[in-house]
Structure 1
Amino acid sequence: MRTLLVDDERLARKELSSLLENHPEIEIVGEAVNADDANEKIAQLNPDLLFLDIQMPGKTGFDLLEMLDSVPNVIFTTAYDEYAIKAFEYNALDYLLKPIQPERLADAIKKVQKKQQQQEEAIVRSREQKLGLNDQVFVKDGDKCWFVRLSDVRLFESDGNYIKVYFENFKPMIHKSLNALDERLDERAFFRASRKHIINLSWVEGIETWFNGGLLVRMRGGDKIEVSRRQAAKFKDMMSL
């Protein structure tokens, strides 16, 4: 598992790194000293797992998780036990108190492995049920209804608790979250460009560099969609030979 250590204390990172040497399934791909540093390295390294300190100068570990479009598996590491309840509200897999005990670390890694196996099995199952370009979907907005082939849908846009569906000259609203929709769509045909947009890759007409390492995608029909910096590298890989 590709792993990033996030802690402002160098000795704490060194101690944890030493403990993880006994776990060959863990590959430490980088270290970060604060939330902003971690945010950049998560975008660059795409880790599967974070060992995340909570109290750091500036932003906390919780602040970091709220900054992310997609959150890796998380094991919190902290010298304080009063954040435990809040940590699990962020779907942390475990909460390790410093100094970290080898037995507790081993238990936490087993939880990650179990979660990763479940995620992989869920991906296999979901791929068998994914909606592709040739599928048709029923769209209802108020009194108006459409039966739309997904190849004709160029864009999905989040708008609060609704999604705006772009096809032809229509933009009906459906009551659904973008995350839920993303799980149903075939990732070979549709791409999660940002927190707000999913685009149909077959409608992409051009790509331009954008601010802060992001991209600007031009769609057939004139729509321009920003790809977040975090998703830009993945998008380039998908669209390259």
Structure 2
Amino acid sequence: MKALIVDDERLARNELKRLLENFPKINIVGEAANAEEAVELIDQLHPDLLFLDIQMPGKTGFDLLTDLEGYVPEVIFTTAYDEYAIKAFEFNALDYLLKPIELHRLSEAVQKVEEEFDRQKQLTETVKDNTTVLSENDQVFVKDGEKCWFVRLGNVRLFESMGNYVRLYFDDQKPLVLKSLNALEDRLDPKIFFRANRKHIINLKYIQKIEPWFSGGLQVTLRESGDKIEISRRQAIRFKELLSL
């Protein structure tokens, strides 16, 4: 699997590369000294995995992940500070390695990566067996705990990523389903459902108001609920092209 190392310290990058020589399945395709360089390399190389430092000059590792749109690699944080661990796992990190990195901890992290990629491969094969794009008129069965719904997709105004789950918003309901937002995006009709940012897919027919937002982005207000969703700067370009604004 392709890996990208993001760390502002050259010696730390070299030491991690040395340790990773013990794991032939990890192919280091590049390295970056800051978040800006990393974003460009992620767009170019589409790595499967980031070894990501948190404290860097300029933007932090968390800022980097927030800036990513659409494609987001798996992440193992590498840092000298333990106080960011809880926040790291809010970003769905596979592991959190404290510097100086010990070989046995790196081995545990790599094993988690391999297990996650095996799981994703199985999911991908399942999706390939059922690749029909779902339209707004299709109905889907949703189960959350003891509650069940048979929902017309056109009635879902918003999909929100919650770790390994997605929350669906329709009527006054908001159940969770065990599915990634990326996998769900692959199944939804792109003429109706739009990936607004890393965490949200919106139903275009529910947009009530569009406003300019920070850094060239947009903010949309959804009718009925009044939810305000930010469309990131990168996605705002696609959004304007899609709606010919």
Equivalent position SS for 1:81? coil
Percent identical among aligned pairs is 51
Conserved in 2, the CA contact under 8 Å of 1:8 and 1:32? yes
Conserved in 2, the CA contact under 8 Å of 1:162 and 1:174? no
Conserved in 2, the CA contact under 8 Å of 1:30 and 1:41? yes
Q: Distance in 2 between matches of 1:133 and 1:78?
A: 42
Q: Distance in 2 between matches of 1:14 and 1:75?
A: 17
Larger Rg: 1
Aligned residues: 184
Cα pair distance change 1:191/1:162, threshold 3 Å: closer
The aligned runs of 1:185-196 (5 Å cut-off) are 185=188, 195=197
* Unpaired runs of at least 5, structure 2: 141-151, 161-168, 204-232
Which amino acid letter does the alignment assign opposite residue 184 of structure 1?
R
The aligned runs of 1:79-90 (5 Å cut-off) are 79-90=80-91
Which amino acid letter does the alignment assign opposite residue 99 of structure 2?
K
Conserved in 2, the CA contact under 8 Å of 1:131 and 1:185? no
Equivalent position SS for 1:80? coil
1:110 equivalent to 2:103? Answer: no
Task: Indicate the residue corresponding to 1:100 in structure 2.
Answer: 101
Cα pair distance change 1:123/1:87, threshold 3 Å: same
Task: Indicate the residue corresponding to 1:26 in structure 2.
Answer: 26
Cα pair distance change 1:28/1:135, threshold 3 Å: same
Task: Indicate the residue corresponding to 1:224 in structure 2.
Answer: 241
Conserved in 2, the CA contact under 8 Å of 1:29 and 1:47? yes
Deviation digits for residues 142-172 of structure 1, max 9, x if unmatched? xxxxx99xxxxxxx9x97x379xxxxxxxxx
Deviation (angstroms), 1:36: 1.1
Task: Indicate the residue corresponding to 2:185 in structure 1.
Answer: 182
Task: Indicate the residue corresponding to 2:57 in structure 1.
Answer: 57
The aligned runs of 1:139-154 (5 Å cut-off) are none
Conserved in 2, the CA contact under 8 Å of 1:50 and 1:73? yes
Conserved in 2, the CA contact under 8 Å of 1:130 and 1:186? no
Task: Indicate the residue corresponding to 2:120 in structure 1.
Answer: 119
Q: Distance in 1 between matches of 2:36 and 2:242?
A: 25
1:16 equivalent to 2:16? Answer: yes
Which amino acid letter does the alignment assign opposite residue 32 of structure 1?
A
Equivalent position SS for 1:66? helix
Equivalent position SS for 2:138? strand
Q: Distance in 2 between matches of 1:92 and 1:36?
A: 20
| TM-score computed with the length of structure 1 as normaliser | 0.62
Conserved in 1, the CA contact under 8 Å of 2:133 and 2:187? no
Cα pair distance change 1:115/1:11, threshold 3 Å: same
Task: Indicate the residue corresponding to 1:207 in structure 2.
Answer: none
Deviation (angstroms), 1:185: 4.1
What is the RMSD of the two structures over their aligned residues, measured on CA atoms? 3.9
Q: Distance in 2 between matches of 1:191 and 1:127?
A: 21
Deviation (angstroms), 1:197: 8.1
Deviation (angstroms), 1:106: 0.8
Conserved in 1, the CA contact under 8 Å of 2:80 and 2:100? yes
Cα pair distance change 1:8/1:131, threshold 3 Å: same
Q: Distance in 2 between matches of 1:111 and 1:78?
A: 18
Cα pair distance change 1:191/1:124, threshold 3 Å: farther
| TM-score computed with the length of structure 2 as normaliser | 0.61
Cα pair distance change 1:127/1:191, threshold 3 Å: farther
Equivalent position SS for 1:50? strand
Conserved in 1, the CA contact under 8 Å of 2:135 and 2:189? no
